[in-house]
Amino acid sequence: MSARCGPGAPSWRRQASKCAWLAVMLLTTGAALAQGHPFGQPEASMGWQPGGWLGSLLGQVSIWQSHFYRQLTGAVRAWQQDGHAAWTLIGLSFAYGVFHAVGPGHGKAVISAYVLANRQTVRNGAVLALLSAMMQGLVAIVLVGIAAWVLNLTGAAMNRATLWLEIGSYALVTLLGMWLAWTKVVRPLRSARDTAVAPDRHGAHGHGAAQQPDSPPHGHRHGLLDGHPHGPGCGCGHAHVAPPALAEGRLDLAKAASAVMSVGLRPCSGALIVLVFALSQGFFAAGAAAAMAMGLGTGVTVASLTCLALAARHAAGRLSGNALRAARIHRGLEGLAALAVLALGILLLGGAWTTAGLWPLGGG
Amino acid sequence: MPRFLTPGRIAALLLALTMPAAEQAAAHPHMWIDARAWLVFDGDGRLAALRQAWRFDEMSSAYSLQGLPRSADGGYAPKALQSMADDWVAALGEPQSHYFTWLRYRGRSLEFGTPAHASVQWDKTAARVTLVFELPLQTPVAPAGAEMQMEVFDPTYFVAYAFDAPGAIELDGAPRACRSDYRPPQPLDPATALRLAAIPADAEIPPGELSALTQKLSHRIGVRCP
């Protein structure tokens, strides 16, 4: 298996370390305290502050995003006139979603960290990313469908609903982080204290055999169903598979649901606004299509980023040279990722909570 | 527990995560406003008020009108629009927003009194709402000898302004010799776009000490009477 994993040339190592840095940047996403905006539109309360070339790339992305966003109104109208123009709206929304995902947002940080902490496969990571982004689109449709279409509530009321969804979402991130920290940091620490030889005990997940430190040279074996490593949307372009996480590499939806919900519960502002606009034009279906296309665009991008994070984790383990150290590094990264999810959850929750008291049109 | 995961390193990670929390990121604009400004003079040739009309883009308009009671002719009840105007102006008056408007003269900032004549108009054909409001100066000042500068921008860059319409800036009742001059913001380069996102929204921006960064973003209207 290892022969297919990459030539091991120095250039490959450089690539791998770049990948690792990217993953670290993904994980050091910071939360920000949002003040409600005077015009009281829904606005996510966190963002991402990298510098250097990555900073200017993201700045450019933000300009492109605005560019696509501004064409959405025209595209909704065009579709209203001519059914064939539906693809214009769907394409624009998809592009908006792609650029939206590259910009600020907590989704990719949570998913990447969850996948890292939980030894998910590349495929599972991609599926999780897609599911959570599609969930975001669906939540936006349901929220606007019920609040605006059925109940005819005001924008201010929807902002409040969004804020509560946001708080729920961040509370879930915090819970997820607590659970991960418990299983990845606290319990291993305790079992290491209890037993001199610390076998890889992961309790709830039962990763067991796949991570025996003595299996050369990666410290893991590939499960049968993991023969094809790349999931949909996985664009890392390098041929390695992350260690199979769950037995048979199957996604345990019950466990992953918390990660999906924690990301998907907070609808993106762009989707909400385009849905309300479509509704005002008497063409809710166009808004729904746009929201789902945005979700798909976001999902594909986050899936690629998640894949990068996994590749980086693998590279970090591989660079260490020997299997025992690789296993340790893997476990260390898991612990760090678990703590990152917890810290992110607490920060986001704190920020959203403060916002709740300061929402400018809260009384309206 | 891996050896390299020492308590010190865990603390460092947590710190790294907390640091950016101090920063606000508002990202890209979600609202586009076509703005007009009138610099209103009193009988003594002093600038007495700034009147502005902000025309929202269609999507923002639709969002803000959502759920408002409609009148029989398909319009909106004047009362509902008035209460929207009052809410907006009240929210804009919060110190961190400062009506997104600043006025400077001879290196010091001129303060505004209570805003007046706030209203919201709904243009059914264009499907856009316009917020009109007037900011009286606490003390009217004649822009004599030096240029008085009005600046309009949203420090969080949630709103992107444009003063593109012909006659978007007018002097109202000014002495004949007064001249106004408009300088648009510099085109937003990617690096600036990102750095803007880091400006704390709760910071009160000292009008006299606008950073080089936000100067790039602001629409500047100069007025001068010899």
- Spell out the domain ranges in chain B: 24-224
Q: Comparing B152 with A338, which gets the higher pLDDT?
A: B152
User: What per-residue confidence (pLDDT) applies to A3?
Assistant: 33
Instruction: Chain B: give the shortest CA distance to residue A142, in Å.
Output: 16
In whole angstroms, give the CA distance from residue A182 to residue A162: 30
Partner residue facing A62 (CB), from B21, B28, B88: B28
- In this prediction, residue A25 carries a pLDDT of 42
The pLDDT value recorded for residue B44 is: 93
- Which residue of chain B is at minimal alpha-carbon distance from A44? B26
Contact list, B88 vs chain A (CB under 8 Å): 38-39
The C-alpha of A228 sits at a distance from chain B's nearest C-alpha, in angstroms, of: 30
Across A181-191, average pLDDT: 84
- The 3-state DSSP class for residue B6 equals coil
Check whether B191 has a pLDDT greater than 80: no
Q: Is the pLDDT of residue A23 over 60?
A: no
A225 inside domain: yes
Q: Is B215 on the interface with A (CB under 8 A)?
A: no
- Say whether pLDDT at A94 is over 80: yes
Of residues B152, B171, B157, B138, the one with CA closest to residue B54: B152
Q: What number of other Cβ atoms are within 10 A of residue B73's Cβ?
A: 7
Q: Which of A34, A63, A70 sits opposite B190 (nearest CB)?
A: A63
- Helix ranges (H only) for A118-265 are 122-144, 155-181, 187-194, 253-264
Q: Does A115 have pLDDT greater than 50?
A: yes
Contacts with B87 from chain A: Cβ below 8 Å: 40, 361, 364
Q: How many CB pairs under 8 A join A and B?
A: 201
Distance in Å, alpha carbon of B49 to nearest chain A alpha carbon: 21
Contact A361 B14 (CB under 8 A): no
Mean pLDDT over the full length of chain A = 70
Which residue of chain A comes nearest to B94, CA vs CA?
A: A38
The predicted pLDDT at position B151 comes to 93
Tell me which chain A residues have a C-beta less than 8 angstroms from the C-beta of B156.
Answer: 35, 37
Residue A182 belongs to a domain: yes
Q: How confident is the model at residue B6 (pLDDT cuts 50, 70, 90)?
A: very low
Look at residue B169 and tell me whether its pLDDT is greater than 60.
Answer: yes
The CA distance from B42 to the nearest CA of chain A, in Å, is 30
User: What percent of chain A is predicted at pLDDT more than 90?
Assistant: 18
Instruction: Assign A65 a pLDDT band (cuts: 50, 70, 90).
Output: confident
Closest-CA residue of A relative to B201 is: A35
> Domain count of chain A?
1
Decide which of B103 and A241 is more confident: B103
Asked if the structure places residue A85 within a domain, the reply is no
Inter-chain touch A339–B30, beta carbons under 8 Å: no
Contact assignment for A32 to B21 by CB distance below 8 Å: yes
- Average pLDDT of A81-110? 84
Instruction: Provide the pLDDT for residue B210.
Output: 42
Mean pLDDT score, A40-63: 58
Considering the domain boundaries, does residue A70 fall inside one? no
pLDDT at A28 over 50: no
In this complex, do A273 and B202 lie within 8 Å of one another by their Cβ atoms? no
Whether B79 has a pLDDT exceeding 50, the answer reads: yes
Checking if the pLDDT of B4 tops 60, the result is: no
Name the residue type at position B175.
P
A228-237, A304-313, B85-94: least confident range: A228-237
What pairs with residue B104 in β-bridges? B109, B149
**Domain hosting residue A307, numbered range:** 104-195+205-358
**A-interface mutation test, from B55, B56, B61, B66, most A Cβ less than 10 A away:** B66
What's the pLDDT band for B33 if we cut at 50, 70, 90?
very high
For residue A155, which residues of chain B lie inside 8 Å, CB to CB? Answer: 63-67
pLDDT interval class at B21 (50, 70, 90) = very low
Secondary structure of residue A84 in the 3-state scheme = helix
How does the average pLDDT of chain B come out, rounded?
80
In a domain, A136, yes or no: yes
Task: Say yes or no to pLDDT of B132 above 70.
Answer: yes
**Greatest alpha-carbon span in chain B:** 79
For B97, the token pair is 């927003």
Question: Across residues B118-142, what is the average pLDDT?
Answer: 95
**What confidence score (pLDDT) does residue A361 get?**
30
**A114 or B82: which leads in pLDDT:** B82
Supply the pLDDT for residue A155: 85
Q: Is A349 a residue whose pLDDT tops 50?
A: yes
A30 and B63 in contact by Cβ < 8 A? Answer: no
Q: pLDDT higher for A192 or B66?
A: B66
Does residue A299 lie in a domain region?
Answer: yes
Facing residue for A70 by CB, picked from B21, B32, B97: B32
Could you read off the pLDDT of B37-67 as tens digits, one per residue?
Answer: 999 999 999 999 999 999 999 999 999 999 9
Q: Which residue has the higher pLDDT, B101 or A302?
A: B101
The answer to whether position A82 is within a domain reads no
Of A104, A189, A276, the CB nearest to B27: A104
Upstream peptide bond of A217 is cis (omega within 30 degrees of 0)? yes
On the question of pLDDT at A108 being above 90, the answer is: no
Q: Between these two residues, A323 and B56, which has the higher pLDDT value?
A: B56
Q: What percent of chain B has pLDDT over 90?
A: 55
CB proximity B14 to A under 8 Å: yes
Other Cβ atoms less than 10 A from the Cβ of A7: the count is 9
The answer for residues whose C-beta is within 8 angstroms of residue A258's C-beta and 6 or more apart is A172, A175, A176, A179
A64 has a pLDDT exceeding 90:
no
Q: What percent of chain B has pLDDT over 70?
A: 75
What's the pLDDT band for A192 if we cut at 50, 70, 90?
confident
Cβ–Cβ under 8 Å, residues A291 and A275:
yes
Scored b (16 or more CB within 10 A) or e, A146-165 reads ebbbeeebbbbbbbbbbbeb
Nearest chain A residue to B203, by CA:
A35
The pLDDT value recorded for residue A217 is 41
Contacts of B188 in chain A (CB under 8 A): 63
Find, in chain A, the residue whose alpha carbon is nearest to that of B97.
A38
User: Does residue B191 belong to the interface with chain A, where contact is any CB pair within 8 Å?
Assistant: yes
Cα dihedral sign, B62-B63-B66-B68: negative
Is the CB of A155 less than 8 angstroms away from the CB of B66? yes
The edge-to-edge listing of strands for the beta sheet with B108-109 is: B108-109, B101-105, B148-152, B219-224, B179-183
pLDDT above 50: residue A9: no
Question: What is the model's pLDDT at position B217?
Answer: 76
CB A248 within 8 A of CB A121: no
Q: What's the one-letter identity of residue A25?
A: M
- Report the pLDDT averaged over residues B20-44: 73
Higher pLDDT, B86 or A217: B86
Q: pTM for the whole thing?
A: 0.72
Q: Does B59 touch chain A (CB under 8 A)?
A: yes
pLDDT at residue A53 tops 70: no
**Closest Cβ–Cβ partner in B66, B88, B201 for A148:** B66
- Which stretch of A131-145, A269-283, B68-82 has the lowest confidence by average pLDDT? B68-82
- How big, in percent rounded to 5, are the helix, strand and coil portions of chain B? 25, 35, 40
User: How many angstroms away from the CA of A49 is the closest CA of chain B?
Assistant: 7
For position B145, what pLDDT does the model report? Answer: 86
B204 at A interface, C-beta within 8 A: no
Q: Measured between beta carbons, which residues in chain B are less than 8 angstroms from residue A364? A: 83, 87
Q: In which band, very low, low, confident or very high, does the pLDDT at A238 lie, cut at 50, 70 and 90?
A: very low
Q: Using DSSP, state whether A213 is helix, strand or coil.
A: coil
